[in-house]
Structure 1
Amino acid sequence: MAAARKPVLLGLRDTAVQGCPKGPAAWTASKLGGVPDALPAVTAPGPQCGRCAQPLALVVQVYCPLEGSPFHRLLHVFACARPGCGDAGTRSWKVFRSQCLQVPEKETRTAQDTAPAVGEGPPAHTVVPQFQPYYICVAEEDDYGNSVGLDHAHSLLQDYQRREGVDLEHLLSLCSSSDGDEKYEKTNIKNGDQTFYKFMKRIAACQEQILRYSWSGEPLFLACPTLEVSEVPACSGCGGQRTFEFQLMPALVSMLSSPNLGLAVEFGTILVYTCEQSCWPANQKSPMEEFCIIQEDPDEFLFK
């Protein structure tokens, strides 16, 4: 019997972040853009691009404590938003995990007031690029009907067929049958087309999703994975395995552009992998770096 599929939470863009929230109201919020918030007694990450050595822009901040864990847990994803660095792969993308024990709010404020200053961020005179910040709200994927939005997915796939020569009419007729998925797997379509179709069909019911969260679940690949998934490195902290946690989706791309500032980030999907044990050494004061896989978008204009 096949194992039950882990539930998936969808991240959607919510209202704009107003002002500069402080304390738990800041670091318990998930958001896109803006500046990274720091957990009590842990410094905020301030990474630099491995290609141009300039500060990276915050793409998303995700507050994601694990069930049964005593830790607050915060993940930050950064990217280089400068022209010319988009093809630098993981050199221009960074992921960090921060944790701290859950304590009463009074103790939390004291910890923030007494946290040591650590020179991890960029120099004060350095301009750190920022995207317009918005909160991220969460919905369960199962709350969306599977058939909603399929017309749009079919329209996109017809454009794809015209360019790639895929027999879409035959493909769609198979998928309209009760065992369509099984038959579809047996058609003689290139692996890349199969993967792309599955991606489009899965997101069609909620095209505005910017993030898919499923800790220790299965990523939704945009392109057929090669060896990159099997080559996810071990945790640099404990040496244990990393597991898939969430991915960033194509709808996010258009929300991360600032033409007037010359800033833009482009990708197909970003797969984030974190320590399976979510290790956090005693007295750890700085974020721990995690790992991401970048899958480029073969048809970027489809998602505009």
Structure 2
Amino acid sequence: MASSARELTLIGVCDGDIDPRRHKTSFLTNKVGGPPDWSPLTARQSPCCGRCGSTLVHAVQIYCPLDASRFHRNLHLFACPQSECRGGPQCWRVLRSQCLETAVTASRPAPAQEAPRSATAWCDSADDWGVEEEEEEEEEEDGWSGGKNSHVQVEREASERDVNSQLQDLSLAESQGDVPILRSFFISVVDESDLAGEEDDLQHVQQLLKDYEKREGVVVRALGGVDLEEKYEKASARHGDGLFAKFMKKISLCPQQILRYCHGGEPLFICKPPPNMAAVVPACGICGGSRMFELQLMPALVGVLQMAGGGGGTELEFGTVLVYSCTNSCWTAESQSAVDEFCFVQLDPDQQLFK
């Protein structure tokens, strides 16, 4: 099993709150926070912190089937919300789960959609894990390996959004008991190559401004009030090398990106990695094979991660979290337990530059 030969980088951005009274989610949904949606054949898990033993919060869920594979495939990232554990590598876990397409055909859940307007749609007996029981939908699945896709667009008035988010927080806090829950948002997927044209347009406009300044002898304020090129230079000087500046310049195409996905590609380091990075990434604990880079969480996600139920702004502090998964994506049809993959955490050398 392998992803497409062309190295494709997809970026994820937040796309509105998930209100459990209006939206059903399933393991086919890309989302931030909320409870994890396990596939029908995968045992539910509540992983604990390797440092303090606390129950980890579910941070991100990604549906990422591989090309030419018979399996559905998910990655779930969990992190410890305790202040003393923030940023620690042993305080993050990523679990990979898979299931055969044929095994879920009879009860296949639909991608996240607006639920029927029914007073009993989300009663206590409803399926908390988002499996569609009444009908099958033939909509395209929202994956990461096969190309760019978009999630449901959530459009509503600001006042309605506030009410819905409060109801969501209350519902999640009550239904999950002592398990910590983060506010939940859809993730929309964009092909990074589609943003290149926008960068060319911006550079062209900036060049026109420079020509105008030279010709007229005046100074025009930088576009958007921010001189990105100057910021890169300052960042490079402050941190002693160009790696952080390169990171900043790369994400300037879409500063609000919360996730980058490039299965088998190259990670975008925020600071200098260990010289023996290849040795730092352990072999797969199941098959003993090598692991490859698959995705990373980005600094913009830090400001999005908030506890549900008005629990305050519990931030998970990190610069970027890199996920390495089994090159073979080893799995058997009989497997029912999600398997651990590897997280490598880099702290943010200058968090205020992202605010």
For 2:97, the aligned partner's letter is S
Tell me the CA shift for residue 90 of structure 1.
Answer: 2.2
What is the CA–CA distance in structure 1 between the aligned matches of 2:270 and 2:244, rounded to whole Å?
Answer: 5
State the match for 2:256 in structure 1.
208
The separation in 1 between residues aligned to 2:201 and 2:321, in whole angstroms, is 25
RMSD over aligned Cα, in angstroms? 2.5
Q: Spell out, residue by residue over 1:39-88, the C-alpha distance to the aligned partner (whole angstroms, 9 max, x if none).
A: 0110133100111111101110000000100100010011001111114x
Q: 3-state SS of the aligned residue for 2:85?
A: coil
| Conserved 8 A contact 1:148-1:204 | no
* 1:14, distance to aligned residue in structure 2 (A): 0.6
Unaligned runs of 5+ in 2: 110-130, 133-174, 204-225
Give how far 1:149 is off.
7.1
- The one of 283, 307, 313 aligned to 1:234: 283
Residue 163 of structure 1 deviates from its aligned partner by 4.5
Structure 2 SS opposite 1:38: coil
The match for 1:284 among 324, 327, 335 is 335
Counterpart Cα distance in 1 of 2:181 and 2:236: 37
Corresponding residue number in structure 2 for 1:256: 305
Per-residue CA deviations over 1:206-241 (Å, capped at 9, x if unaligned) read: 111100001001111111111334320000111100
Q: Secondary structure at the match of 1:39?
A: coil
1:132 matches 2:183:
yes
Aligned to 1:91: 90
Q: Alpha-carbon deviation of 1:270?
A: 0.5
Shift of residue 101, structure 1, vs aligned partner? 0.3
- Count of residue pairs brought into register by the alignment: 259
C-alpha separation in 2, matches of 1:219 and 1:228: 11
The superposition leaves residues 98-126 of structure 1 with CA deviations (integer Å, 9 ceiling, x where unpaired) of 000002632547xx89xxxxxxxxxx996
TM-score by length of structure 1 reads 0.78
Which has the larger Rg? 2
Does the 8 A contact of 2:236 with 2:245 survive in 1?
no
Q: Does structure 2 retain, via aligned residues, the 8 Å contact 1:147–1:205?
A: no
Aligned to 1:35, what secondary structure does the other structure show?
Answer: coil
Q: What code does the residue aligned with 1:269 have? A: T
1:270 and 2:345 equivalent?
no
TM-score, with structure 2 as normaliser: 0.67
Q: Is the 8 A contact 1:27 1:37 kept in 2?
A: yes
Q: For residue 11 of structure 1, what is the aligned residue in structure 2?
A: 12
Instruction: Work out the CA distance in 1 between the residues paired with 2:227 and 2:27.
Output: 36
Partner of 1:179: none
Q: Which segment drifts farther, 100-109 or 292-301?
A: 100-109
Between the two proteins, what is the percent identity of the paired residues?
42
Corresponding letter in the other structure for 1:101? L
How many Å separate the matches in 2 of 1:148 and 1:225?
33
Counterparts in 2 of 1:161 and 1:67: CA distance versus 1, 3 Å: closer
Give the unaligned 5+ runs of structure 1.
114-123, 165-189
Q: Which residue of 2 aligns with 1:36?
A: 36
Q: 1:283 & 1:148 partners in 2: Cα distance?
A: 52
Within-5 A mapping of 1:189-228:
190=240, 193-226=241-274, 227-228=276-277
Structure 1 Cα separation of the partners of residues 59 and 230 of structure 2: 29
Contact 1:148 1:205 in 2 (8 A): no
CA contact (8 A) 2:260 2:298 kept: yes
